[in-house]
Amino acid sequence: MSLYVIGIGGTGAKCLEAIVQMAAIGLFSEQPIKLLFVDADESNGNLERARSSLNKYENCYQLMSGDKQQYGWLKTPIESNGLWSPFGNTSTNKSLASFFNYNSLKQNNPDVGNLFDVLYTEEERKANLDVGFRGRPAIGSAVMSRVDLDNLDEEPWNAIIGQIQQDVGGGRSTTKVLLCGSIFGGTGASGLPTISRLIANKLNRENIREKVKIACLFVLPYFGFAPTGGSNDRVYARSEQFLLNTEAALRYYVNQAKMFDSVYLLGNQNFSRYKFSIGKTSQRNETHFIELYAALAARHFLQNTSSRQTQVVLINREHKGKLVWNDLPQRDEVKKELVNATRFAYVWLSNIVPELEYARSQGVKKAPNNIPWFNKFYQRGGLPDFNDSNQQQAIETISDWCKDYLRWLYDIHNCDGDDIELFNYKYLALENFDGSQKGEELSNLVVSDRRDNQARGGDTVQKIQQGLLDINRNQNLTSPNQGTSGLAKALYMLCRI
């Protein structure tokens, strides 16, 4: 079964980022996930961050090739179809007027030109859309409605439809397509209905619609901001209009959401305050816990085999303004993997990396005297050379993933307006990993840890390091079981509680 996920706009990109993080910790299957980013603002900060996370995932995934069954980390192959922008073929002026040839429209077809004037103010017509659709669904809808999937001569749609046809033709079980984005902003709100309709129509024409499940994930308003003064640009997203936009969009979907087999709606009563940005790199909103739910919704869609048309699944929180483990769907499974990955990233950055740096300073001959697990993975009896550039690069690659994952998790806990009580997030802040900590807080990472005092007292990095000495013998570590990737795999397994 393949899952195609299309993230539309900044919120869509953030949802994809969350899916990448959750796939990394083993919450998805070993079936491939194929991602596509859709955004008119190609340098959007949210998009950049999501693509950077994906890049780190891919690097780490390649490094950790081998038997994934034994440990679960990075088991999902994620393929990226890159970024598609509705302005892909427009290299010059990216304004609504230019896109619709407004001047010639006024001359040759004055009625339509006048209608255009009624629908869009002069500022909206002239606004440069290389920053996205400026939180205006009306602008986005106009641009998106010009997308033509019929010809299929435009990448990456051509490739995606081809892949879906291949998946369906190959007799694989149901192929699934999930589109996610905000319902209240510009790109997501306008792109999601248009693109999903185009895909559904295309699959209908190819007679494969019945074999493909299409779902959408709408993120309802969950943040707000106050515009900063000083700019003459008056066409921008206004958070006070988000609820109004949402209300109108939901009315539309009551009748128009027929192409979806499943619909996910996510929202939060407490709006987080974000820094105002019109777009581009400065639009880099902090990660929000709602994105964790977005990833879990994608997981639900992938795992759900129910064919019932009218199934309604609800999930909410026990307490407004607070998120605890009990609030997560499939709590036990999700908690197990989140805790495992977080412990791994924490121990890797706070303890193993400083140990490897110490080994480098001591030299490979002397290092095993003080780091006895060192020659279980390096140097001895044909094991990889620690000083080899590939091994050093692998340490960097794994550290990059750990930092990115912990940054994402930290931001979720730090989100404005809600108390997130999953992990003691102050221990996950990246500034802690400067070598001053050696993993002392390992047993205190999880909030509401139900282990008894004895179990928590014995949960130390020392015990994990001792486990590294014997893991090959005790657990018959399959490939990768040597060098940096073997060390990371062993550590990941030992961090499981």
Partner 1 sequence: MKTSEIIRIILCIILGYVLMFYVQPLIYENGIIQLGLATAILKQVWFLDYYQGAWLVFAFSVIATIAWYVLAAKAKIKGGNDTSKWSVVWWLFLLLPVLSTLIAIVLFKDKSSFISLSGLYILDGVFLLYWLPTATSSPGLLRNIPPGSQLLRSLIGD
Residues of this chain that interact with partner 1 (CB under 8 A) are 351, 354-355, 358-359, 362, 367-372, 375, 380, 438-440, 461-462, 465-466, 469
CB of 447 to partner 1, least distance (A): 24
Q: Which residues pair with 84 in a beta bridge?
A: 38
- Is the CB of 248 or the CB of 364 nearer to partner 1? 364
Distance set, CA 455 to CA 424, 449, 450, 452, 458 (Å): 18, 11, 10, 5, 5
CB of 351 to partner 1, least distance (A): 6
Q: What residue has token string 């007679």?
A: 207
Question: CA 363, CA 365: separation in Å to the nearest integer?
Answer: 6
CB of 347 to partner 1, least distance (A): 11
Asked if 344 and 492 touch (Cβ cutoff 8 Å), the reply is: yes
- Is the CB of 46 or the CB of 350 nearer to partner 1? 350
- Is the CB of 107 or the CB of 462 nearer to partner 1? 462
Residues in Cβ contact with 444 at an 8 Å cutoff, skipping those fewer than 6 apart:
424, 427
Angle made by CA atoms 55, 56, 59, in degrees to the nearest 5? 85
CB of 375 to partner 1, least distance (A): 8
- Is the CB of 6 or the CB of 442 nearer to partner 1? 442
- Is the CB of 369 or the CB of 476 nearer to partner 1? 369
> 134, 204, 208, 145: which is closest to 171 by C-alpha?
208
Angle made by CA atoms 121, 124, 128, in degrees to the nearest 5? 155
DSSP of 45-87, one letter per residue?
A: HHHHHHHHHHHHHHHHHHHT-S--TTT-TT-S-EEEEEEE-TT
CB of 449 to partner 1, least distance (A): 21
Three-state secondary structure call for residue 352: helix
DSSP of 133-169, one letter per residue?
A: STT-HHHHHHHHTT---SS--STTHHHHHHHHHHHHH
Quote the strand ranges of 220-370, DSSP E. 223-224, 262-266, 272-273, 322-324
CB of 461 to partner 1, least distance (A): 6
CB of 496 to partner 1, least distance (A): 20
Residues in Cβ contact with 331 at an 8 Å cutoff, skipping those fewer than 6 apart:
325
What is the greatest pairwise CA distance in the chain?
A: 85
- The helix (run of H) or strand (run of E) holding residue 421 is strand 419-421
- Is the CB of 79 or the CB of 357 nearer to partner 1? 357
Q: What residue has token string 């993120």?
A: 219
Task: Label the pairing between strands 223-224 and 272-273.
Answer: parallel
The amino acid occupying position 359 is: A
- Is the CB of 82 or the CB of 372 nearer to partner 1? 372
- Is the CB of 461 or the CB of 471 nearer to partner 1? 461
Question: CA 221, CA 246: separation in Å to the nearest integer?
Answer: 8
CB of 399 to partner 1, least distance (A): 16
- 329 C-beta neighbours (distance < 10 Å), count: 13
- Is the CB of 140 or the CB of 439 nearer to partner 1? 439
CB of 457 to partner 1, least distance (A): 11
CB of 386 to partner 1, least distance (A): 13
Q: Which residues pair with 37 in a beta bridge?
A: 7, 83
CB of 184 to partner 1, least distance (A): 49
Angle made by CA atoms 395, 68, 170, in degrees to the nearest 5? 125
Angle made by CA atoms 17, 314, 38, in degrees to the nearest 5? 30
382: left (phi over 0), alpha (psi -120 to 50) or beta: left
State the DSSP code for 171: T
- Is the CB of 320 or the CB of 366 nearer to partner 1? 366
CB of 182 to partner 1, least distance (A): 45
- Is the CB of 365 or the CB of 450 nearer to partner 1? 365
- Is the CB of 155 or the CB of 357 nearer to partner 1? 357
